[in-house]
A and B are shown apart, each in its own frame.
Chain A
Amino acid sequence: MTAEPVTPAEAEAPVADKPRYKLAMYWASACGGCDVAVLNLGMKLIEFTERWEPVFWPAAMDAKRADVRAMDDGEIDVCLFDGGIRTDEDAEMAQLLRAKSKVLVAFGSCAGEGCIPGLANQRPLERVFEAAYDPELNDVNGSGLPSGPWESPWGELELPTLEARLRTLGQVVDVDYTVPGCPPETERIAEVLSAVTAALDGTGPLPPKGAVLGAGTSTVCDECGRKRGVKSIREFRRIQTLAEVDPELCLLEQGLPCCGPAARDGCGAKCPAAGAPCIGCYGASQGVQDFGARLLSAYASVVDASEPEDIERVLASLPDTVGQFYRFSLAASLLHGGRS
């Protein structure tokens, strides 16, 4: 990504005289929430299109893979890639868009750290299929599994094949930047697009490669407005079992398994403000290698028990340790989800 230095006069030039950059957005194995978060920009999105020309964006416009293939390498200025790499098609698109884009952004939790779909890495593929499809009810392929080529009334069609495990975008291709969040907050997306525009124009700093954009460097606890005292947890509780949630007190102190101590800030701590524990969708805070290990460490520090049986009893109130500690980050964790 290189930008010609501009003189102040050029920087002040009317929009029509400024270059229009090419933007792609793609969803791999994703829910579409990231695309919706970008569309939520509303009128701001219209303003952005004065400087950005969407050239490929399956959620919002009609352009096919063949159109991307026809592009020159590096023709797309910025590609926002959301979704994890779960199928051979995802991997192919990741390679293709990497080649065609100057800047590739892992956009959202799935592309960055695997997100909820990454939790399937706990089980082998056969078990995932068993859970998702009852072979007796899904017999389209004859095998019961919706995968591979099949005869349709329109000729032979081929569905993407699932790979053994979900990988993050960074585990498949070289990634320039990461924008965390499930989905990224719309205001943060606007900031990122403005900053990237300025960097391309040469009027703003270019973030170092590998930087996390649109988020802070601390934890959700740091931007949470709740009162913090000495934590002393005898039991983790589900929010449904509480008669009421204290509107001011730290949620972890109330026994709710909040992910604030390990999660990156940038979201505005909206969940705790609304009385719901942080679920850690912004990923691990700066410098943390493994979200789950850091959260586990934080919880263990504040448990009010010192005898093994007593500690086991407190831990038993967290029935799903992997789901609690690695809800969004299993595919990017140090153990990558254990058994495959």
Chain B
Amino acid sequence: MTAPVTTPAAAAPAAAGQPFEPLILGFTCNWCSYRAADLAGTARTKYPHNVRLIRLMCSGRMEPEFILEGFAKGADAVIMTGCWPEDCHYRIQSVKALRRFIFLRRTLADLGIEPARLQRFYASAAEGQRFADEMARIVAEVKALGPIPPETRVALAAHPDVVASASQPQEVEV
């Protein structure tokens, strides 16, 4: 009998006594939501440091594979952000991203990952405060959810590239 599949990621609990600090992956579009993040930074608006942002040209560039790979490699939640649909620089791509989000959220739920671990919001280039507020809301929500349950994490950790999700986020000045 072979031992069940386990990896360090599955076996590494958060240090005792430490509050749960989720690792969250955030995707922005180049034209609106990244500018919003930039504006939040210029205005020195603070929001929790748990989110790692990755800039894409458009939210329509968001491959569902990117999100699944994020979860497989240890993310506790993933956020998709982009232009308001009427402002999308690539016409209807923001709507396509919305459809992918809805399809993916249902599929993730069927695979045992709570829908709240995949989040989305729109932010225009002028909405730095909204960007920070939404990030704070989502981080609070994911903290309340806690880490991905160990039994699910065992399955996720079967991914060969998986990294420990328990790694502590770096302090980031936004």
Partners in one complex: yes
**B64 CB–A CB distance under 8 Å:** yes
Number of interface residues of B (CB under 8 A): 36
Residues of chain B within 8 A of A305, CB atoms compared = 99
Q: Which chain A residues numbered 58 to 111 have a C-beta less than 8 Å away from chain B?
A: 88, 91
Cβ-based interface call for A209 (8 A): no
Chain A 11-27 interface 0/1 with B at a Cβ cutoff of 8 Å (1 = within): 00000000000000000
Could you say which of A43-51, A164-172, A243-251 contacts chain B? A164-172
Instruction: Confirm or deny: A299 has a beta carbon within 8 angstroms of a beta carbon on chain B.
Output: yes
- Asked whether A52 is an interface residue with its Cβ less than 8 Å from the other chain, the reply is no
* Chain A residues near B144 (CB-CB < 8 A): none
B155 close to A336 (CB less than 8 A):
yes
Q: How far is the CB of B40 from chain A (nearest CB, A)?
A: 26
Give the contact-size bracket for chain A: 35 or more
Beta-carbon contact of B159 and A336 below 8 Å? yes
Is A293 at the interface (CB under 8 A from chain B)?
Answer: yes
Q: Are A321 and B159 within 8 A (Cβ)?
A: no
* Assembly CA distance A303 to B96 (angstroms): 9
Partner of B64 from A163, A296, A308, A311 at Cβ < 8 Å: A296
Contact between B5 and A334, CB atoms less than 8 A apart: no
Residues of B within 8 A of A167 (CB): 5
Q: Is B103 within 8 A of A296, CB to CB?
A: yes
Any chain A CB within 8 A of the CB of B126? no
B147 to chain A, nearest CB (A): 14
Mark out the residues of chain B between 1 and 41 whose CB falls within 8 Å of any chain A CB in the assembled complex: 1-2, 4-5
Q: Tell me, in angstroms, the Cα distance from A289 to B102 when the chains sit together.
A: 21
- Asked whether, in the complex, the Cβ of B96 is within 8 Å of the Cβ of A301, the reply is yes
Which A residue sits closest to B97, measured CB to CB? A300
Smallest Cβ distance from B107 to chain A, in angstroms?
Answer: 4
Q: Which residues of B contact A (CB under 8 A)?
A: 1-2, 4-5, 63-65, 67-69, 71-72, 85, 92, 95-96, 98-100, 102-104, 106-107, 110-113, 149, 151-152, 154-156, 158-159
A308 touches B5 (CB 8 A): no
Alpha-carbon distance between A322 and B106 when the two chains are bound, in angstroms: 9
Question: Contact partner of B98 among A311, A322, A325, CB < 8 A?
Answer: A311
CB-nearest residue of chain A relative to B156?
Answer: A335
The interface residues of chain B lying within 8 Å CB-to-CB of A171 are 158
Q: Which of A88, A315, A333 contacts B103 (CB 8 A)?
A: A315
For A339, the chain B residues whose CB sits under 8 A away are: 111-112, 149, 151-152, 155
Q: Which of the residues B67, B103, B107 comes within 8 Å of A322, measured between beta carbons?
A: B107
